[in-house]
Amino acid sequence: MLPREHLEAILKSGKTDVVPVMPPFQGFWALDVAGLTTPQSFKDVSKTASAQLKVLEQCTFDGIEVLWDWLVPVEALGCKVDFPEKGNPITSENIVKSLEDVDKLEVPDIRKHARTVFDYEVAEALRDKIGRQHFTYITMPSPFTLAGELRGVESLLVDMMLNPADVHRLLKFTTEVLLEYLDLTVEKGFEAVFWCDPTASGDLISPDQFKEFSLPYLKVLSQKTKEKNLWVLVHICGDLLKGADRLKMIQDEVKPHLMSVDTAVDLLQAKQSMDATIILGNVSTTALLQDTPEKVYELSIDCVKKAGEDRFVLGAGCDIPVGSPPENVSAMIKAARA
Amino acid sequence: MPSKNEILAKLSECVIKGDVEGCKKWAKTALENNIEANEAIANGCAEGMKIVGDKFEKGEYYVPHVLLSAQAMMAAIEILKPYVKVEKSEVTGTVVLGVVEGDIHEIGKNLVKTMLEAAGFKVVDLGKDVPLTKIVETVKEMSPDIVGLSALMTTTMPNMHKCIEMLEKEGLRDKIKVIIGGAPTSREFARKIGADGWGEDASAAVNLVKNLLKPK
């Protein structure tokens, strides 16, 4: 069986004969392993694609993200962005300075935004190269997380309490922008989108706020993604079981095919809460960065034991941290094959 | 006319509810009724913020609620500040706070700052993405009692360890207490890197600071 067939099998039937492994987010880590800085990674499509391939030779994931520059919509919308040497570009200026600015926002022509075009070229190059063997996906923010980048997370959190109607207008806008990205993703023939909502973390907002500001918009994207016959993968950070069962809400409302959970989430409980969804998780990112391959192997085995083999994909609890030794990352894969 | 206790209770209540306008109104009322600004801050605003901290710890409040309460409290303090009698504002300790180099996530650190200030500590806030050398320099210059380091990313956590090593090298480590916090950190990690304490959340951080500064 090809690596991608393991994932297809599990996505379709919930069962497969080996535990599939997805990072779930390896892009910036892999660039660093291959010696490419973040600014350099936006220069040459084939060099950037090769950097990912090089790492994939050593760490044979069944599926990988082929577009990892997930906050690219922030720049397309006109925010100033800083490019650190390693890791994600950082939003340095929020364009929604006051809530009146929400009405001035316009959906950009993303097909003319250089970084967006570049990112999709890299993604296509990678997909064309390895897509027959490996499952590939595009990583994108959720409307709520994108809104946080445009407004500033701290301001957005206060706005939710004081001016919820304005926040909903902003969320409708970010949803529209992300639907443009979905269109582009469909047009280019990709098979899956990983919608990520770190700002809706269980550690940050209340279950009611989650229900009101994150879920409905994620639901729109999920539905549209499914209408186009793409797989819907979702990642949200933090403990989604503390205080209220947010995982169940996600299954009921968003209905993703696969849900990726943070290390804080109990895998067994996650599988019970989402009894019709594939769960991906949740090897400690701290261990990947700081511990030994033996320790990562042990933690990975624990994950598999806890989750059981059905409806389960092994991966890290979030991004593979930049700087993690490749030996640690491959220990995760080794454990899944054990 | 409301009694002093009623006014203080209202101030506290408005902080808990995150009612900015209410806080302004009751801060003014406190001054009009000759309540000392220090007392209004300590027994009104800070009292309210303490309850907010408790609710946060219990999971009744989430970060947005705490941010709003902090805004309300700051609105009251803004009005009361010009009337604070300096000799009476006893600073119980100085805490230098910063999010370590490479990390721009500062909501948690800001909550810790608000709660420490409400509890009467002087806070020197170095902000986010703070170069480790700047933290060391600040310790040298200001001789604080405590240094609080924060990180949200797994990749920036090791900078806390580096910072402690730099403080050691400069012979400053024994003169201060170092505490850490942030989502990926843990008590075990704090112990491993030689920190003096770990706070699970902003409320815990205040208790930690109080305990570390308790006269032995």
The answer to the question of residue B88 being in a domain is no
Lowest mean pLDDT among A91-95, B26-30, B79-83: B79-83
Chain A environment of B154 (Cβ under 8 Å): 285-286, 288-289, 318, 321
Give A212→chain B minimum CA distance, Å: 14
pLDDT tens, residue by residue, B145-180? 999 999 998 889 999 999 999 999 999 999 999 999
B83 Cβ under 8 Å from any chain A Cβ = no
Closest Cα to residue A190, out of A256, A254, A119? Answer: A119
> The domain spanning residue B190 has which CATH number?
3.40.50.280
The answer to the question of residue B70 being in a domain is yes
Note the pLDDT of residue B89.
Answer: 45
Asked whether the predicted pLDDT for residue B88 surpasses 60, the reply is no
A114 Cβ under 8 Å from any chain B Cβ = no
Which of B16, B51, B83 terminates a domain? The answer is B83
If asked whether residues B198 and B158 sit together in one domain, one would say yes
Domain boundaries, position B183: 94-213
pLDDT tens, residue by residue, A148-184? 999 999 999 999 999 999 999 999 999 999 999 999 9
CB contact under 8 A, A209 and B104: no
- What are the strands of the beta sheet with B197-199, ordered from one edge? B122-125, B94-99, B146-150, B177-181, B197-199
Chain B environment of A205 (Cβ under 8 Å): 62-64
If asked whether residues B179 and B209 sit together in one domain, one would say yes
Among all residues of chain A, which has the CA nearest to that of B158? Answer: A290
If asked whether residues B77 and B162 sit together in one domain, one would say no
Peptide bond into B64 cis (omega under 30): no
Confidence of residue B119 (pLDDT cuts 50, 70, 90): confident
SS3 of residue B95 by DSSP? strand
Confidence of residue A233 (pLDDT cuts 50, 70, 90): very high
Q: Shortest CB distance from B64 goes to which of A157, A285, A318? A: A157
| A87 phi/psi in degrees, rounded to 5 | 85, -175
Q: Which residue stretches of chain A are H helix? A: 3-13, 27-33, 45-58, 72-76, 114-130, 143-151, 153-162, 164-187, 207-209, 215-227, 246-253, 267-273, 285-290, 293-307, 326-337
Asked whether the predicted pLDDT for residue B85 surpasses 80, the reply is no
- How many domains is chain B built from? 2
The answer to the question of residue B30 being in a domain is yes
B74 Cβ under 8 Å from any chain A Cβ = no
Q: Shortest CB distance from A158 goes to which of B64, B158, B183? A: B64
If asked whether residues B23 and B74 sit together in one domain, one would say yes
Q: What is the ipTM of this complex?
A: 0.90
Among all residues of chain B, which has the CA nearest to that of A156? Answer: B64
Quote the CA–CA distance of A74 and A96 in Å, as a whole number. 11
Percent of chain A with pLDDT over 90: 96
Interface test with A, best of B103, B111, B155, B201 (most A CBs within 10 A): B155
Which of B64, B83, B102 terminates a domain? The answer is B83
CB contact under 8 A, B68 and A323: no
Note the pLDDT of residue B91.
Answer: 61
Q: Tokens standing for A154?
A: 């701290």
pTM of the complete model: 0.92
Q: Shortest CB distance from B67 goes to which of A90, A154, A318? A: A154
